[in-house]
Amino acid sequence: MNEANPNSSLPGDDRWAREALTKLAFAAVAEQRRTRRWGIFFKLLFFVYLVALLVLAWPDKLASKAATMTKSHTALVRVDGLIASSTEASAKNIIEALRKAFKDGNTVGVILEINSPGGSPVQAGEIFDEIQKLRLQYPKIPVHAVASDVCASGGYYIAAAAQKIYANKASIIGSIGVRMDSFGFTDAIAKLGIERRAYTAGSNKDFLDPFKPANPEEIKHLQGMLDAIHQQFIGAVKQGRGERLKDNPEVFSGLMWTGEQSVGMGLVDALGSSRYVAEEVIGEKTIVDYTKHTRWLDRLLDETATSASVALMQRLGLEGGIPWR
């Protein structure tokens, strides 16, 4: 039939069909390749994400393994930022890092590098006590404090537990005192026509309520608490510094000085950095950082729990201030 009708369109249609099938086949193969490549990409992405989560979740464990592979070294523990139970400079984190550093048989000496304006007297006190305990347990391992930008209040409380304190000449040192902040809103709510309603069980449960006039008896009681905590602070500093402290009444007044001025007052032993202390004082220039970083997962859970607790306390009207160094 094709020979009888050479102008027939059938052979052309046959070629078109074959070409269409070929294109469809190639398109299917190309689509399969694209799907395979995207599958590999997402698998690699998931793997990288998983590794990142592991690193964020257990950074201190990875650091510990790296530390144990090193021979003799100077251990470094950083106290950075606000000292509080919910921060990385919490007593829990600092104490755990110190214990690991002292326990390591390759540790020649320990440096506490402090850059903190202070914080909770409870947290600072726990760290101070732990350093004293470790010094007795490991008498051959010296521990020195090095002040960075700021080593004040609770930061200095911790530093006082070390055998010696070093600082930069421009470091801020001191603030040996205790404070507690509050506000009074009695005039403001009166002008705005706001009625304060507080329901308590216990005659002093609304102690220092900022929406009621200041009560002299409450202020007297609070001052007694602050003075008692201040004396604990002073006792710790005197215990740690001993006769190196100069007989100057302003030392415990809450004032601050430069690192250079602090040497003359006995608050600091000498000027020097962490590198200087490692090389010239301890005698081991290799430094291994033992600082414990809060795990990402723990930090998230802690923040959630803290927020929930604060919200509950505010709901029940149980919130209150605490002294801070």
**pLDDT above 60 for 248:** yes
Q: What is the pLDDT of residue 24?
A: 72
Exposed, middle or buried: residue 104 (CB in 10 Å: 0-12, 13-18, 19+)?
Answer: buried
Q: Assess if residue 237 is contained within a domain.
A: yes
**pLDDT above 50 for 207:** yes
- Could you give the 3-state DSSP secondary structure of residue 160? coil
Report the chain's C-alpha Rg in angstroms. 33
103 is in which domain, residue-wise?
60-316
**pLDDT mean across residues, the chain:** 83
Q: Assess if residue 323 is contained within a domain.
A: no
Of 57, 85, 102, the position where a domain reaches its end is 57
**pLDDT above 90 for 267:** yes
Question: Which residues are known to be catalytic?
Answer: 153, 205
Q: Same structural domain for residues 111 and 256?
A: yes
Q: What is the pLDDT of residue 2?
A: 46
Q: How far apart are CA 141 and CA 170, in angstroms?
A: 29
Q: Assess if residue 175 is contained within a domain.
A: yes
Q: Assess if residue 321 is contained within a domain.
A: no
CB count in 10 Å sphere of residue 302:
16
Six token digits for residue 215: 């009560």
